Amino acid sequence: MRKIKKMVAFAMALFMLVPSSLFASSHREAPITALDRTADITDWYAFVSYDHPDRVTMILNVDPFLEPSNGPNYFPFDPNVLYEMKVDNNQDGVEDVTFQFRFTTEIRQPDLFTGFVGGIAGIPPITALDGSGSEGLSLRQNYTVTMVKNGKSTSLNNGKTLFAVPSNVGPLTMPDYQSLFNQGIFELGNGVRVFAGTVDDPFFIDLGAAFDSLNFRMGVGGVLPAAEDADDTHNYAPDAVAGFNVNSIVLEVPITMLTVDGKIHGAGDKQAVIGTYGATSRHHITVRRSPNPEQDVGPFQQIQREGNPLINELIIGTGSKDRFSMDDPKNDAQFSNFFLNPVLAGVFSSIGIPVAPNPRNDLLILAQYEPPICPGCGPGDTGPVADLLRLNTGIAPTPVGSQKRLGFLAGDLAGYPNGRRPIDDVVDISSRAVAGILVDPLKFGTPIGDGVQLNSEGYGTTFPYIMPANSGRNGHHIGPGQAGCTGQPTGICPVN
């Protein structure tokens, strides 16, 4: 019991560190990436695979608020961006294993006015990513997966050409989009799977209320009634991201590829715990010479990174967001003041929500290797203050039907902040952490929440865990209280 309490306390602390965020994960949160959307990381996830407890799945989502109908080019990945997933396995905050993704674009029908056509003009519907049935797939991308370990780069493609899944244009052009989605899952051998493509954005939040100075549907500040807080299956407020797509790279690898000694460890061993983050980078200089190939000059420079959700969004001051985006996690001590004196806590206090007093050392638990996520870490193992999404690979995944949106706070130890799954309601979790639930759940445990409890498009229960892209022709953005969402008790939209 004491251990559970300690873990809950830790979880809360984590949240506070993150205090941030209350509000969106990281969609357009920093000045530079607000202008550079293809390099803008929206969310980063890492968790033990639900159906393969010996593997870890990592999801890097980029390019926010993709309106499904936005043709004719839709949403290719950026060939000039280096997309990376980074893993620290020895508690020093520096990556030891990196997975790199690079995309190449081909225009297969250069005389067409659109990137995608099918079921018209003698061109068959798009039913395949390659070969017969792919004729109408004019704008097509393939990509490489490279692992960097001990300074050595290894291709993981295993001789395969990997195609990214295009956005869902509509039923005439792509009559069986689920099949295209499935064709985008590639088995690379040795327990490695990869997927890249445009998908439904799994993030969920009442963004409009959050940034209207916390003007939530249940009142300013957003405090959930007990019955709503206990309901993980309905939304009580509109999800601003509903019906929008995002570009996603999903990689599943054996835990043995990530740990420091290549072995699987129990939860009590510090070697079971990894620190992860996603990053995007560009060359120092790129000269665009269309239709000739672009010319890149100089080394890669990091544009953005994300470890814990919402850190840059709400914790880091606007004047420091770009610096935070471009720096390495191991240097995050420079931002400690943002963590220890979160502005958002003061906002909560101003509207009558009890908050823990400063300095908020409880929040530092999110930024270092400590119990309860790393019960095997002693005082000498904390490492530097570093915004990494830490995952104890020795903690078994929670079965799909038993997962809780409040994750660790609800006793679901395989959820955020022990890694992060798409189902985890990081807005509610982080808000409560900011208020101080990790310090004292009785005094500072106000059930803060935005009323959006889940992704209305659902979740996958196996790799790649996300849902196919919303349809361009038939897409919509509807939530409780909005036109088109009527006839339901209390205006609650059905979730499926």
Torsion of CA 154, 160, 166, 168, to 10 degrees: -120
CA–CA distance, 470 with 314 (Å, rounded to integer): 28
Among the candidate windows 36-44, 72-80, 220-228, 454-462, which touches Ca ion by CB under 5 A? 454-462
Among the candidate windows 30-38, 227-235, 332-340, 443-451, which touches Ca ion by CB under 5 A? 443-451
Q: How many residues bind Ca ion (CB under 5 A)?
A: 15
Does the footprint of Ca ion cover residue 43 (CB under 5 A)?
A: no
CA–CA distance, 364 with 356 (Å, rounded to integer): 14
Give residue for tokens 């390019």.
63
- Lay out the site mask for Ca ion across 82-111 (x = CB under 5 A, - = otherwise): ------x-x-x-x-x---------------
Give residue for tokens 């004292």.
440
Q: Is there a contact between 147 and 99 (Cβ–Cβ < 8 Å)?
A: yes
Give the nearest distance from C-beta 90 to Ca ion in angstroms: 4
Does the footprint of Ca ion cover residue 157 (CB under 5 A)?
A: no
Give the nearest distance from C-beta 305 to Ca ion in angstroms: 15
Instruction: Estimate to the nearest angstrom the gap between the alpha carbon of 12 and the chain centroid.
Output: 20
Give the nearest distance from C-beta 213 to Ca ion in angstroms: 18
- Binding residue for Ca ion (CB under 5 A) from 311, 427, 448, 493? 427
Whether residue 384 has a cis bond before it, omega within 30° of 0 = no
Give the nearest distance from C-beta 264 to Ca ion in angstroms: 19
Among the candidate windows 28-36, 39-47, 449-457, 481-489, which touches Ca ion by CB under 5 A? 449-457
Q: Is there a contact between 367 and 332 (Cβ–Cβ < 8 Å)?
A: yes
Identity of the residue, 115 or 449, whose beta carbon is nearer to Ca ion in the bound complex: 449
Torsion of CA 476, 480, 483, 489, to 10 degrees: 120
Does the footprint of Ca ion cover residue 229 (CB under 5 A)?
A: no
Does the footprint of Ca ion cover residue 457 (CB under 5 A)?
A: yes
**Cβ neighbours, 10 Å, residue 413:** 20
Task: Please tell me what DSSP assigns to residue 89.
Answer: -
- Lay out the site mask for Ca ion across 375-414 (x = CB under 5 A, - = otherwise): ----------------------------------------
Does the footprint of Ca ion cover residue 313 (CB under 5 A)?
A: no
Closest CA to 204 of 19, 483, 477: 477
Q: Which amino acid is at 8?
A: V
Identity of the residue, 84 or 425, whose beta carbon is nearer to Ca ion in the bound complex: 425
Identity of the residue, 373 or 452, whose beta carbon is nearer to Ca ion in the bound complex: 452
| Angle at 312 (CA atoms; ends 239, 307), nearest 5 degrees | 90
- Binding residue for Ca ion (CB under 5 A) from 84, 135, 201, 332? 201
Q: Is there a contact between 171 and 178 (Cβ–Cβ < 8 Å)?
A: no
Closest CA to 432 of 359, 342, 492, 367: 342
Does the footprint of Ca ion cover residue 200 (CB under 5 A)?
A: yes
- Binding residue for Ca ion (CB under 5 A) from 236, 416, 428, 492? 428
Interacting residue ranges for Ca ion, rule: CB under 5 A:
88, 90, 92, 94, 96, 200-201, 425, 427-428, 449-450, 452, 455, 457
